[in-house]
């Protein structure tokens, strides 16, 4: 079974600083995809970034980047130059074989002005 673990229930960071959110996953598949979603207070699920497991290069989307360590089954999210609008719940997830997207329990990120 696929499992995703986010070991940090809450994180906080000063505005303009950098923060890293951790995620580990378990899979027996060789081909899979990893995602980070953001859920602000509006409860909308917003896709932040994704990574194909077969790609060695870490994905980057503006201030958001990932550190993908395939052997360690680790997929952390780095947010640079944190902004107040980044405050949200962040969910890590994985999908295999177009079956289902399995999420971790989330990390609540607070941005301190």
Footprint of another protein on this chain (CB under 8 A)? 33, 35, 37, 43-47, 50, 52, 91, 95, 97-106
Nearer Cβ to another protein (16/45): 45
Nearer Cβ to another protein (5/12): 5
Q: Work out how close the CB of 99 gets to another protein at its nearest, in angstroms, rounded to a whole number.
A: 4
Nearer Cβ to another protein (19/90): 90
Nearer Cβ to another protein (85/113): 85
Question: What HEC string does the chain produce?
Answer: CCEEECCCCEEEEECCCCEEECCEEECCCCCCEEEEEEECCCCCCEEEEEEECCCCCCCEECCEEEEEECCCCEEEEEECCCCHHHCEEEEEEEEECCCEEEECCCEEEEEEC
Largest CA distance in the chain: 42
Q: Work out how close the CB of 87 gets to another protein at its nearest, in angstroms, rounded to a whole number.
A: 16
């Amino acid at each position: 079974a696929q499992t995703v673990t986010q070991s940090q229930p809450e994180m906080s960071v000063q505005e303009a600083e950098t923060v890293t959110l951790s995620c580990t996953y378990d899979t027996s598949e060789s081909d899979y995809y990893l995602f980070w979603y953001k859920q602000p207070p509006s409860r909308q699920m917003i896709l932040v970034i994704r990574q194909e497991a077969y790609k060695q290069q870490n994905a980057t989307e503006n201030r958001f980047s990932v550190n993908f360590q395939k052997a360690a089954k680790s997929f952390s999210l780095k947010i640079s130059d944190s902004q107040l609008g980044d405050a949200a719940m962040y969910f890590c997830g994985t999908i295999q074989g177009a079956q289902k997207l399995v999420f971790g329990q989330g990390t609540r990120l607070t941005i301190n002005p």
